[in-house]
Each structure stands twice: as C-alpha cells, then as structure tokens.
Amino acid sequence: MGGEGGAPPPACSDGVDNDQDGQIDHPADPGCESPEDDDETDPPMMNQCADGLDNDGDGAVDLADSDCVNGLDPTEDGQDAVTACSNGLDDDQDGITDFPMDPGCGAAGDDDEADPAAPRACGNGMDDDGDGAIDFPNDPGCQGVGDPDETDPAVLPACGNGIDDDGDGATDYPADSGCTSAADPAEASSCPAGVEVIDLNAHLADNESWEGSTEGGSAALQGSCGGGAGPERVFAYRVSRELRRIAFRTDNEFTAVPTVVYIKNDCEVAEDLACNRGAGETPGTVARLDEPAQGLYYVVVDTGSRVVGPGNFRLTVEETAAPHCRDGVDNDGDGLLDLADPGCVSPDDEDEADPEAVPECADGIDNDQDGAIDYPADMDCTAAGVDRERPLCGIDFPNVVEVGQDGAQLVVDLEEGMSLAEPSCVFLETGTEYVVQLTLDDPSDVAYELSVEGPPDGIPPTVAMYLRSDCADANSEMACTSAAGAGTLRGLEAGTYFLFVDAAGIVPPGTAINLTLAPSSNVRQCNDGLDNDDDGVIDLADPGCEQGMDNNEADPLMPPACADGVDNDGDGAIDWPADAECRAAGDLDERLSCEATDDVIAVGMDGGAFDYDTADGRQGLFGSTCAGGAGSPEQVFELTLTGPARVVAEITAFAGDSALHMRTVCDDADAQVACDDDGGDGLLSRLSFNRLEAGRYFFFADGFGANRAGAGTIEFTVEALEVPECMDEADNDGDGLVDAADPGCETPFDATEADPAAPPACADMVDNDDDGLIDFPNDPGCHAAGGPIETDHCAAGLPLIEVGQAGGDFPFRSGDGGNLTRGSCGVGDGLEQVFAVTLDDPSNVTVTVTDEAGAPAPTVMYMRADCDDAAGEAACSTNGTLRGRQLDRGTWYVFIERGRDVAAPAGDWTATFAIESLITQC
C-alpha cells in the first residue's frame, strides 16, 4: 500500500484494525479523525447522546433522538417519547416548532419549548467556539438552534469535516445536498442508488430557473398524485430561513409536456409533502408548502403522461418570506430579533419597527408588581411589543383556564366563594365563577356544550354561561344563556374572549358540570388574503370564488358569468365588482339568485348551523306542495355545491310547526325537488339527499300553513362525495384526453376513464348516423367521446340504450350522480338511464327492473314521447312496474333511476321490456 521504498500508510487508512476494536480505518473507527490520522486508538467512551452515532437504530442521532434530553444522557434507548420538542406542535406559540429549529429546545427529548431569556450558544449569532462557523446549521458543534454548546466534537461529523465523504464532488454543508446541517453525521443522499440529485440552490444562485428535460432522468420515484409514467428529475433544495410559503413551479411557456411535481423530505420514503400534476392543455403545475421548516427538501419533476412521454420543462422557485416578527432577522436594526423586539406584538406581526411609546413588556419596569419584568420574564408578556404586563382579566377570579383555537373539554369546578360577576340573562347573586380565556387565532364559530348532571339525590343547580370581550366589563357581554345545553357562538373575530360559567348558590356535592368548546375557523381560500391558485387575483376577485366562504380558488374551465366580460343580465353593469348582483368574480349568475328577495343566506360545502328569525314583519313569498301550502314567512338558504355531495338539511329548533322545501331555481315553483313537514324531531322538518350534483340549491325554512313565524335554527350537513374520473378535469388513464373528450367516458358520472377495447361510435372517426358530422364534439348526438351511438336523442347527455320492437332484457349500471330529469310521480336519487324504445307498430309496453339478486329494484320510472320535454310524459311509476298503453309508432324514451332515500348502492340491474303489438290480422 505504501509502494516499494515508500512510507507506510497512516493507521487510519491502512486496512488494518490497529487498535483491535473491531473497526477499521476512517470513518468506521471512532479513533480516526480523518484518513490521514496515524492513530486508531479510540477516545474515552462518550455518552450515547453525544457520540455521533444512531445507537438505537431509530434513524435519529444524539440530540435529534427524542430519548435524549441533553448531551449528558447516557443512552439513546427508549420508547421514542413524544415531547414538547418532538410533537409537531408549536407549544410556546412563537411561530417555530420543535427541535432543531425552536430556540427553546435543547434536544428532541426536551419537554419544554419555552424560549430562554437569552439565546443559547447555537442561536445567539456569535462564534462561541472560535472555529469560524456561527450557530446552527453552520457550526459542526450545533445540532439545533437551542443547543447550549457550540464546541465541535473531537471527531468532526461528515458534513463538517472538510472531506467529500460520499465522493459526489460536493463537500460538507451546505454544498452537499445530503447534509441537513454541518452537524449531520452522513453526507449521503437519501435517494435510491443511481438517482442523480441536482443541487437547485447552487443552480439558482446564478440562474432564474432550471431548464431541461425529464428525458434521460431516473425512473425510480412516484408521487401521491401521479408520476411513474416515465423518467423524472430530482432536485435538492434547502430552505435556510423562516418562510410563510414556498412554491415549486413548472407552469410556464417553456414546459411542453404534462409534468407532475412533488416534494419530499426523504427521497426514499413513499409519502410526499405536496403533489400536483399538469394535463394536456396545461402541462405545467405548481406544488406548494405552507410554513415549511428550515431544512433539506427533495423536489421531483416527473413525467405526467405515458402517451405524451417525457420532455422539456422549466422549474422555478418562489419563496414568500415569513412575517418580520418570526423571520430570524433584525429588520429594524435595533439589535433585537422577532418577539424580543418592542415592535413585535405576535409572531405574525409584519413590522418590527418600534412604536413611539415603549410598550410595558419592554420598558424595564415591573408594571404589575409581580416581581417579573418584561418579556420573556413576565409570563403575561407574550412578546416585547405587548403593552400590558398584567393578566388579561383585571378581576382576580380563582378559576381561569386558557383555551385556544383547538378548543378543549373541561371539567368545571365551581368553588364556594364570593360572586365577582353577574350575567344579564338570569339573576345569580352567589357563587364563584369559572372563567375560560378563549383566544381565537382566526375568525371562527365556536360550538359549545354545557352539561350538568346530579347531584344523585337532589336538584341540579341553576347554571348560566355568558361571553364577554372584556373580562372585567359587564357591558362587553356578547351572549348569555341561562340553561345547560348545546349551541354555537357565531361570527367571532380573531382575538381574546372570556366565557363565564356561573351557578346560583353552592353547587351540591356529586354535581358534574362539563363544558366542551370546539372552535371552527371561518378562514377559507376565498377570504384568506392569499393567491392560492397563483393566477394573480385574490379572494373575491378570483374567478374560482363564488363567495367568501368558498374554500377553493381554483378557476373553472369556463369563465363564470361574473368574470366573463359580458353583461349577462343586461343591466348595464359587467362582472364583479361593477355588477352589484355578483357576490364575487366566481358567481355563476349576474342576476340576483332570488328575484323576490335579497335576504338569502349562503351555505357552502362546509355546511353548518344557521340561526334565523322570520317573525320580523316579512311576508310569505314562496309556497310549496306540502305543509298546508307552506305560505308562512320563510328564510331562504342558497346551498352552493362545488362537487357531488350527500346533503341533509334539518330544522333543529323552531317556535312552532315548521316546513322545509327545496328548489333548484329560487323563483320557479315548478323547480321544487322536495318538501317536508314533520320529518324531523316532533313538528320539525328534515330533508335528506343521498346525492346532489355540483350547482345551486335553494332551501326554504318555512312554517305550516300561512301564519307560522318565529326564531329557528337550521343545520346543513354536507358530505363531499368522490368526483368521478369523467368530471375531475384530470387525465386519469394517461392517454392525453380528459373527461368528455376521453373515449372511456360516456357520461360525466362514469367512474373511470379507461378506454374500451373498441372505439365507441362517438370516437371511431366514422359518421355512423350519416348526418355529415363525425364524433364528439362535432356530432350533436354525441355528448361525450364514449357515447355508444351518434344518433341525436337527449340533450341532457344521459346514457342511452336502444330497444327495438322485440323488447327483451337489457343490463345496465345503476349509478350515482345525475338527477338531471324527473318524473311527475317523484324524483329519483341517481343517474338516469334512458332507453330509446323504437316501436314499429302501435304497442303496449311494460317495463320491470330487477337488481343483481333478481329481486325487484327500488326505482322511479317514467316515459316520454320527447326525451327533453317533460310535458310529453306518457306514464310514471314508483311501484316497480311502468306501463305504457296504446303507444303510437315511433321512438319513446323510458327513464329509470334509483328511488330516493333507499339503501340501494350503485349496482348492475336489468330492465325487462315486454312489448305487445296492437296490430292483428283483423
């Protein structure tokens, strides 16, 4: 090894176990600092939590192991405890989560995330050990920002030793993409062997984007939303500062083929952090992470279509900086950072500039005389910029509990003592109060349930609950109830509130009082102030937003009426915001949703409970076919579904006998779909729908007859259903065709885009009906490329089967979706199957339907002379048999759909047509 006459190689690279410890040479032998080290002798035994090894094989080394409380911990073995510094939560509300990034976490096993009064050695901006490297992640002696010791270990870790340990041409952190910090013990990438990892940070240092092709890349990875259709390119990108959002984009003019972009924090783990895919007409896409932790990410640009294959793309990165008060930067140059800066009131504060008057939490004075001065010493100071050192509540209540946006289940302890507050809705002159300090991060609705049980041998005490915006000010009361039960505090803005539970007199022993609080954020994509779909417009100005509570800004394929540049209602005003009847740019109609009234409450896909009161002098405007005509004053609710959903609407409280009816068009009585009088609890009303398609539906909370008005509550439960492949705007079978353009789709409700073995009539390049027009979308008889016939029939685009004079058995699929038509005898609940029955003779026609087991199927069936004209109905039945008598020659259309509210899933059914000719020899 030394060569003849040459010096022998050093002990740490001679291939010999010189110290006989079972380990040979660098880097395997802990006694070797480098290959040039000439002494393999091991250093003194170190504690496992400071030896640079993964002793328990859980993938976490030293302080990153949640079984290590600090570097003096002798063993890494344990149960991988979940601690405040490893639980994925921001326990101290400083905007930073867990080890290694939270300044309060000395190790993953640290069970206290609270930040220290002064930054520790690995987060103080100083080179404490004089090695030229400062803090985490740059100093080899720092495993995290909260690590108290910057001293480098005796054997430098692979990512801080000045050696290209993995031989990839890149040395140490941050140059080597396999290094998460200078303290990382291994330079190796986590990607499979043979996968080239491109250092995106290094490339973007000199370029605005990365341009290239998926052609020639590896083919080893796949994302949760696609990929695996061809080769991919893998990039390593390091986030080295606090960010609000990061976006990786291929949606640009250079990208020529459908791409799939996904983000991982471990290349070999199947799960990804985000995934999005392009399509034929829009091959580019964007994958985003909100609030990404600092560290290394793998970004994969994959082939999106087997049919189109790999090709050129351009990848760009957009970083949205974190707010100034949690970005780790001294933005105002006063020597103070983030929450320690008097200009910062909270982690989400966008401005570090100091106010003219020094706030109490930074003035050097013990303002509340509690012995603790300023932030962070005084626990009532959540940031140096807070101008209040005293507790939020100016009254010294004995029972005060803090609850945040996540809510809580509380056991209420009402101790005997002096009453310090009174509610407005009931007189309670004795007893102490239980106070909940409720802090909401978002505008929210807060559901509550207050229960009182016992005592076993007595009468439960009178209990009240009331809400204030100011703890000590009775005039700030916002709500009050004098009885236990459930309800919702609606429309609360972000901020701090005080919820009091109070009782009259002493609470008898054995009484159990429990309170559940469940806040639900009212922040949606269409009111969050962000451009969620990256189209340059935000919230109500975005064509993807029908109203402020929509939770998806994604634009529809066709511009909606309130963003199409057309004066659709002829009132001289075009689109939102010029047309006052447009609620947002995504509103589907420039007209008022109800001409008769503008008092319409919007309901979205999240549903919810809504209080209303019809005893305000209004008149009854919308009647119905049940509940004595339902001519009482009503409240209109407009339910907007962005996709198919199972819907239940139920009046849960009303002052009298309620009624509830639903229409698809607000002002058209003939558009009524359902009506209920007493289907709910007692005299209350309830409507349920197994499936409603995307669109608008109008629900009328009404009363029986003409004189039932009062306060009530209606609750909408909306369960989103899976969107069929043939209406999801994605190329699911990788043939470059989407939805109706795909030969695998006969209707929008088909579950799969998979193409049939033989091209259907509407995609076979043949003029099957000799009308001079070929296939979808050119032939009006084709409503999708998967249509089996080109003959012009129904405009609704329903699946159609042709039946001749001989009749017979015709199998078909009873599917979900649809409800596009209805018969006079009832409304079905599923996709209508249409049979075009062509009679050569005047005939009688009888139709029956059986399910997979041969039993009668629950159906609504009706027959028309014209497929699209309900007025031409010849028969309608809900009893399982449809009869058409003395029908003339020609084509008749039989509609079969599943009956409403029946426990019958989609399945294979059979329609039997018995056709009797009326022509005889005479």
Q: What is the pLDDT of residue 385?
A: 94
Cis peptide before 258 (omega within 30 of 0): no
Query: What token pair was written down for 361?
Result: 């939490």
Count how many residues are written for the chain: 922
Are 608 and 513 in the same domain? no
Task: Report d(CA 454, CA 672) in Å as an integer.
Answer: 48
Max distance between CA atoms of the chain, in angstroms, equals 125
Count CB neighbours of 793 within 10 A. 21
Task: Report d(CA 96, CA 79) in Å as an integer.
Answer: 25
Are 797 and 897 in the same domain? yes
What is the C-alpha radius of gyration for the chain, rounded to an integer number of angstroms? 35
Mean pLDDT score, 794-798: 65
Q: Give me the half-sphere count of Cα atoms (radius 13 Å) on the Cβ side of residue 461.
A: 20
Mean pLDDT score, 737-751: 83
Question: Which residue type, as a one-letter code, is found at position 8?
Answer: P
Has residue 459 got a pLDDT over 70?
yes
Q: Which residues partner with 915 through β-bridges? A: 845
Q: What are phi and psi of 299, to 5 degrees?
A: -110, 125
Alpha helices for 527-574 (secondary structure H):
none
Q: Give me the half-sphere count of Cα atoms (radius 13 Å) on the Cβ side of residue 571.
A: 14
Angle at 600 between CA 595 and CA 602, to 5 degrees: 130
Q: What is the 3-state secondary structure (H, E, C) of 136-158?
A: HHHCCCCCCCCCCCCCCCCCCCH
Task: Report d(CA 586, CA 605) in Å as an integer.
Answer: 15
Q: In the chain, what percentage of residues exceed pLDDT 90?
A: 32
Looking up tokens 């780790």, which residue turns up?
328
Q: What are phi and psi of 11, to 5 degrees?
A: -60, -30
Has residue 348 got a pLDDT over 60?
yes
In this structure, of 256-265, 393-402, 493-502, 708-717, the range with the lowest mean pLDDT score is: 393-402
Q: What is the pLDDT of residue 2?
A: 46
Query: For residue 718, what pLDDT band results from cuts at 50, 70 and 90?
Result: very high
Query: For residue 87, what pLDDT band results from cuts at 50, 70 and 90?
Result: confident
- Please check whether residue 107 lies inside any domain of the structure: no
Specify the CATH number for the domain of residue 896: 2.60.120.380
- Please check whether residue 778 lies inside any domain of the structure: no
Q: What is the pLDDT of residue 143?
A: 93
Query: For residue 3, what pLDDT band results from cuts at 50, 70 and 90?
Result: very low
Q: What are phi and psi of 652, to 5 degrees?
A: -95, -15
- Please check whether residue 50 lies inside any domain of the structure: no
Query: For residue 1, what pLDDT band results from cuts at 50, 70 and 90?
Result: very low
Are 714 and 807 in the same domain? no
Alpha helices for 4-70 (secondary structure H):
none
Task: Report d(CA 564, CA 63) in Å as an integer.
Answer: 58
Angle at 51 between CA 90 and CA 21, to 5 degrees: 155
Count CB neighbours of 552 within 10 A. 19
Q: Which residues contact 404 (CB under 8 A, 6 or more apart)?
A: 438, 439, 440, 441
The 10s digit of each residue's pLDDT in 241-272 is 888 899 999 999 999 999 999 999 888 888 89
Has residue 790 got a pLDDT over 50?
yes
Of 342 and 858, the one with more pLDDT: 342
Q: In a 3-state reduction of DSSP, which class is residue 223?
A: strand
Are 619 and 705 in the same domain? yes
Are 910 and 807 in the same domain? yes
Residue 812: name the closest of 697, 708, 895, 714 by CA: 895
Has residue 30 got a pLDDT over 80?
no
Q: What is the pLDDT of residue 901?
A: 58
Helix (H) or strand (E) holding 445: strand 444-453
Alpha helices for 579-704 (secondary structure H):
none
Q: Which domain holds residue 234?
A: 197-322
- Please check whether residue 645 lies inside any domain of the structure: yes
Alpha helices for 378-491 (secondary structure H):
none
Are 711 and 605 in the same domain? yes
- Please check whether residue 729 lies inside any domain of the structure: no
Q: What are phi and psi of 136, to 5 degrees?
A: -80, 135
Are 832 and 913 in the same domain? yes
Query: For residue 825, what pLDDT band results from cuts at 50, 70 and 90?
Result: confident
Looking up tokens 């390049």, which residue turns up?
765
The 10s digit of each residue's pLDDT in 148-158 is 999 998 888 88
Specify the CATH number for the domain of residue 314: 2.60.120.1050
In this structure, are strands 408-411 and 512-521 parallel, antiparallel, or unpaired? Answer: antiparallel
Question: Average pLDDT of the chain?
Answer: 86
Helix (H) or strand (E) holding 692: strand 686-692
Task: Report d(CA 111, CA 104) in Å as an integer.
Answer: 10
Q: What are phi and psi of 860, to 5 degrees?
A: -115, 125
- Please check whether residue 224 lies inside any domain of the structure: yes
- Please check whether residue 740 lies inside any domain of the structure: no
Task: Report d(CA 635, CA 633) in Å as an integer.
Answer: 7
Which of the listed residues 322, 346, 371 is the one where a domain comes to its end? 322
Looking at the structure of the chain, the number of domains it has is: 4
**Can you say whether residue 111 is alpha, beta or left, with left for phi > 0 and alpha for psi between -120 and 50 degrees?**
alpha
Are 798 and 912 in the same domain? yes
Has residue 60 got a pLDDT over 50?
yes
Q: Give me the half-sphere count of Cα atoms (radius 13 Å) on the Cβ side of residue 101.
A: 24
User: Measured in whole angstroms, how far is the alpha carbon of residue 98 from the centre of its chain?
Assistant: 23
Which of the listed residues 669, 703, 720 is the one where a domain comes to its end? 720
- Please check whether residue 759 lies inside any domain of the structure: no
Q: What is the pLDDT of residue 637?
A: 95
Q: In a 3-state reduction of DSSP, which class is residue 17?
A: coil
Has residue 509 got a pLDDT over 80?
no
Query: What token pair was written down for 573?
Result: 């005003």
Are 423 and 308 in the same domain? no
Which of the listed residues 691, 720, 749 is the one where a domain comes to its end? 720
Q: Which residues contact 593 (CB under 8 A, 6 or more apart)?
A: 600, 638, 666, 696, 698
Query: For residue 882, what pLDDT band results from cuts at 50, 70 and 90?
Result: very high
Are 613 and 696 in the same domain? yes
